[in-house]
């Protein structure tokens, strides 16, 4: 590879008719690492991936993948990448094996080799038993794994994953995570987009937070979490009348001033040692015989995180997608 960076982008811009999708995005992903693009819906993540995967031509800026320019050397780029888009692009009217063999042929492997490669990939992604079935009847996780396998025909240097686990159940997410971790362990550079903080946290070496088509922050998952703020302990009183007593108790346990929300009978307090604070608060509440409706640790939502990261100057705008985002950052329950 002429460049040490597997993916490099400078000042990418892209405007669609009515909307600025990218407003100067920079990226630098060293080979062999997993890099996350984290942001809410409409942040420009998909547009960035489409440009890097040669599907969309940028209006401005430049980008190279595996050392090749995505616009002028798109053919070379296409030989070095795999793409798993938002939809699972597998053919439901063919078996899993037929799918992989067909893609192998389209990646221009000779027939025997395409077949052999299909077998290897079925094994790698634990799909041997489902090989002769149509993906139509696969679980979400299995479909995604087949989709990943189809992207890995040529063992690409760089793999693009656009929201690989959106719409999957927790089991499916774990399956896909495992597959991605495997690929990464074997040296594939992975660029993935997600709006789940926990997903980025689990899979990525580094994370770029983008919104409104701009980079905000780039950091390691640990660093990002520090910037976003600590976990909060939340306690909801069963009887609103006991809220003040409960707040006093929690304050004495964690030793920090708490904030209370009377309308929801909720107490919230930042805690550096989340699990410790949770267990001791719960024990104390029980010892005092107080009734609570809920107790738990909560990380800041993506909304709060963006507010925090951007110093409050740039709230995540009033987008229709917003009602969904808070949930996505909480732990999968």
Partner 1 sequence: MTQTTMPSFSGSRTSETAGSGLIWSLRDCWTIVLQEFTHLLRQPSTFAWQIGFPVVMVLMFVYVFGSAMDVTGQGAGEGYVDFAMPGMFAMTMALGFMDTAYAVTHNKEKGFMDRFRSMPMSGSAPVTGRAVADVIRAAIDLAVIAGVALLIGWRSGGSIGATLLAFLLLLWLRLALIFVGIFLGLSIKNTETAGSLFAVAFPLGFISAVFTPPEMMPGWLGAIAAWNPVSSTATAIRELFATPGIDYLEPAYWIDGHALAGAIIWPAVIMAIFLPLAVRQFKSLSR
Residues of this chain that interact with partner 1 (CB under 8 A) are 1, 6, 31-32, 50, 53-57, 75, 78-79, 81, 83, 85-89, 91, 93-94, 98, 102-103, 105-110, 113, 116-117, 120-121, 123-124, 134, 150, 152, 154-155, 157, 183, 186-189
Nearest in space to 109 (alpha carbons), one of 154, 65, 77: 154
Query: Half-sphere exposure of 162 toward its Cβ, with a 13 Å CA cutoff?
Result: 22
Taking the complex as a whole, how short is the minimal distance between the CB of residue 102 and partner 1, in angstroms? 6
Strands 68-69 and 81-84: unpaired
DSSP three-state, residue 189 = strand
Decide whether 51 or 267 has the Cβ nearer to partner 1. Answer: 51
Taking the complex as a whole, how short is the minimal distance between the CB of residue 157 and partner 1, in angstroms? 5
Decide whether 79 or 227 has the Cβ nearer to partner 1. Answer: 79
> Residue 22: which residues within 8 A CB-CB, separation 6 or more?
12, 13, 14, 44, 47, 48, 51, 58, 61, 213
Decide whether 1 or 256 has the Cβ nearer to partner 1. Answer: 1
Contact assessment for residue 186 and residue 194, using Cβ atoms and an 8 Å cutoff: no
Nearest in space to 31 (alpha carbons), one of 130, 158, 211, 214: 158
Taking the complex as a whole, how short is the minimal distance between the CB of residue 66 and partner 1, in angstroms? 8
Taking the complex as a whole, how short is the minimal distance between the CB of residue 312 and partner 1, in angstroms? 36
Decide whether 55 or 282 has the Cβ nearer to partner 1. Answer: 55
Taking the complex as a whole, how short is the minimal distance between the CB of residue 153 and partner 1, in angstroms? 9
Sequence-ordered alpha helix ranges (H) in 24-73: 45-52
Decide whether 93 or 287 has the Cβ nearer to partner 1. Answer: 93
């Amino acid at each position: 590879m002429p460049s040490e960076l597997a993916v490099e982008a400078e000042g990418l811009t892209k405007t669609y008719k009515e909307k600025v999708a990218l407003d100067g995005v920079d990226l630098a992903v060293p080979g062999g690492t997993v890099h996350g693009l984290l942001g809410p819906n409409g942040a420009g993540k998909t547009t960035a991936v489409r440009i890097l995967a040669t599907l969309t031509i940028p209006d401005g800026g430049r980008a190279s993948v595996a050392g090749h320019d995505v616009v002028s050397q798109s053919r070379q780029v296409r030989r070095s990448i795999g793409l798993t888009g938002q939809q699972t692009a597998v053919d439901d009217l063919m078996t899993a094996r037929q799918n992989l063999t067909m893609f192998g042929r389209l990646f221009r492997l000779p027939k025997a080799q395409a077949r052999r490669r299909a077998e290897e990939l079925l094994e790698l992604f634990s799909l041997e038993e489902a090989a002769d079935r149509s993906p139509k009847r696969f679980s979400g996780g299995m479909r995604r794994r087949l989709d990943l396998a189809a992207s890995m025909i040529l063992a690409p240097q760089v793999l693009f994953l656009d929201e690989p686990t959106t719409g999957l159940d927790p089991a499916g997410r774990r399956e896909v995570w495992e597959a991605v971790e495997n690929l990464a362990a074997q040296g594939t550079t992975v660029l993935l987009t997600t709006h789940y903080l926990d997903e980025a946290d689990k899979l990525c070496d580094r994370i770029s937070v983008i919104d409104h088509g701009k980079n905000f922050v780039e950091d390691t998952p640990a660093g990002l979490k520090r910037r976003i703020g600590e976990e909060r302990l939340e306690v909801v009183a069963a009887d609103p009348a006991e809220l003040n007593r409960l707040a006093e108790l929690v304050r004495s346990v964690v030793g920090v001033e708490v904030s209370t929300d009377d309308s929801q009978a909720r107490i919230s307090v930042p805690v550096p040692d989340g699990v410790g604070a949770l267990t001791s608060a719960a024990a104390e509440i029980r010892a005092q015989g107080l009734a609570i409706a809920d107790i738990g640790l909560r990380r800041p939502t993506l909304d709060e995180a963006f507010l925090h990261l951007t110093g409050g100057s740039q709230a995540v705008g009033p987008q229709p997608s917003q009602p969904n985002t808070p949930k996505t950052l909480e732990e999968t329950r």
